[in-house]
Amino acid sequence: MTLLHSPLHDRHVALGAKLADFGGWEMPIEYPGGGVVAEHTAVRERVGIFDVSHLGKALVRGPGAADFVNRCFTNDLRRIGPGQAQYTMCCDDNGGVVDDLIQYLRSDDEVFLIPNAANTTEVVRRLTAAAPEGIEVTNLHQDYAVIAVQGPQSDEVLEALDLPVGHDYMQFREVQWRGRPVIVCRTGYTGERGYELVPTWADAGELWDALVAAMTAYDGMPCGLGARDTLRTEMGYPLHGQDLSLDISPVQARSGWAVGWKKDEFWGREALLAERAAGPTRVSRGLSVSGRGIPRAHCAVTREGEVVGEVTSGTFSPTLKHGVAMALLDPSMAEGDEVAIDVRGRAIPATVVKPPFVQVQVRQD
């Protein structure tokens, strides 16, 4: 299979990035000069910049587009207004998660979507199949790029480019930068204060270069998707395909906060209501590792020799200097319980905890 490339691919190659397949896209894992740990630390302490242009983009437009999207996805778009974004999920009839995504509410008649890379085509297909007359669903995957600027000094980097800062979390501004359109949203996948910028595909290179130049004053770094994964895991943020999937529902993943339970309609509603009422057979919990060893997805979790669950995401935490994991456990397991994780045949001790694993002090001004 031929891998797709972001509009910034030549920049990553020039920097000597280690590249890998992410949802059919060849994207940077890490850059020379420190690797994942150094990039992770830059975001926690200063600022880092990520190319996440592999993420999907789609537009739903037409009379009543917002109401239509609200009848499809789990979260309640009526909770927000134009200029705000919202985390939501696209579920199937069984309550499994086809994708988790961000929806940008532009108006009652226009919603911009950012799904995960590998799921964009399927999300667009489902929306198109369900769309009433007058509603148009367009796949814009390679029309726009996405650049994330994350870290305590992200505001300063954007200010150096005369881009807007200071708007509330999950709010966005649509502005002109050097005469070209760009969306600036107070979102991110790291837990730190930060922004995600959505320029057109053609304008991404110039914007990236300007951001890289601006962040040098703050000892910032270009960061790969390896650091993005350790950062999101420290915060307990789910990754589709591991912590959410067609087999892992929002109820099991403890993502019910992103479900509009009082809505009359959304895909998977009846199945999810039934599961919530009956109680899930497994529940996502955090695991803080006290022994030597790095937990990985699919490692068995045991208590007194009995299997009580399985790791869905695991990594070494550069901030805490030990392993952390998210796991689907038997509902009887509670915070404070001591368990073991089978890491290559060794039983590594761990404690059940509530994520996030790291407490981040995010500047709110």
pLDDT digits (tens, 9 = 90+) for 64-99: 999 999 999 999 999 999 999 999 999 999 999 999
Number of domains, the chain: 3
Tell me what pLDDT residue 1 has. Answer: 77
State whether 228 and 92 are in the same domain.
no
pLDDT band at residue 361 under the 50/70/90 scheme: confident
User: Which uninterrupted H or E stretch holds 204?
Assistant: helix 204-215
Residue 179 has pLDDT above 70, yes or no: yes
Is residue 352 very low, low, confident or very high in pLDDT (cuts 50, 70, 90)? very high
Strand partners, 58: 113, 139
pLDDT of 363 over the 60 cut: no
Q: Is 241 within a domain?
A: no
Q: Are residues 185 and 129 located together in one domain of the fold? A: no
The CATH number of residue 223's host domain is: 3.30.1360.120
Q: Which range marks the domain in which residue 58 is found?
A: 54-140+249-279
Q: Is the pLDDT of residue 178 over 70?
A: yes
Question: Is 220 inside a domain boundary?
Answer: yes
Predicted confidence band at 360 (pLDDT cuts at 50, 70, 90)? Answer: confident
Residue 264 lies in a domain: yes
pLDDT in tens, 185-208: 999 999 999 999 999 999 999 999
Q: For the segment 229-278, what is each residue's pLDDT rounded down to a tens digit?
A: 999 999 999 999 999 999 999 999 999 999 999 999 999 999 999 999 99
**CATH classification at residue 312:** 2.40.30.110
β-bridge mates for residue 283, sequence order: 329
- One domain, residues 336 and 287: yes
Radius of gyration of the chain (CA): 20
Q: Which of 134, 126, 106 is nearest to 246 (CA)?
A: 126
**pLDDT for the residue numbered 126:** 98
pTM beyond 0.85, yes or no: yes
In a domain, 230, yes or no: yes
Last residue of a domain, one of 207, 235, 263: 235
Task: For residue 348, give the 3-state DSSP assignment.
Answer: strand
297 shares its domain with 275: no
Does residue 259 sit in the same domain as residue 136?
Answer: yes
What is the pLDDT at residue 142?
98
Q: What are phi and psi of 41, to 5 degrees?
A: -65, -35
Sign of the CA dihedral with 206 first, then 23, 354, and 269 last: positive
Are 13 and 155 within one domain? yes
Give me 287's structure tokens. Answer: 């695991």
124: left (phi over 0), alpha (psi -120 to 50) or beta: alpha
Say whether pLDDT at 41 is over 90. Answer: yes
The residue type of 250 is P
Residues 152, 163, single domain; the answer is yes
Please tell me whether residues 102 and 132 are part of one structural domain. Answer: yes
> Domain check: are 269 and 341 in the same one?
no
69 shares its domain with 134: yes
pLDDT in tens, 330-351: 999 999 999 999 999 999 999 9
* Domain end point (choices 203, 235, 267): 235
Q: Are residues 159 and 229 in the same domain?
A: yes
Do 60 and 135 belong together in one domain? yes
Position 364 pLDDT exceeds 70:
no
pLDDT of the residue at 362 = 61
Residue 240 lies inside a defined structural domain of this protein: no
Contact indicator for 290, 349 with CB cutoff of 8 Å? yes
DSSP codes joined into one string, 271-334: HHHHHHHH--S-EEEEEEE-SS----TT-EEEETTEEEEEEEEEEEETTTTEEEEEEEE-TT--
Q: Is the CB of residue 15 less than 8 Å from the CB of residue 36?
A: no
Does residue 300 sit within a domain? Answer: yes
Q: Is 359 domain-assigned?
A: no
Q: Looking at the domain assignment, is residue 198 inside a domain?
A: yes
Q: What is the CATH number of the domain that holds 130?
A: 3.30.70.1400
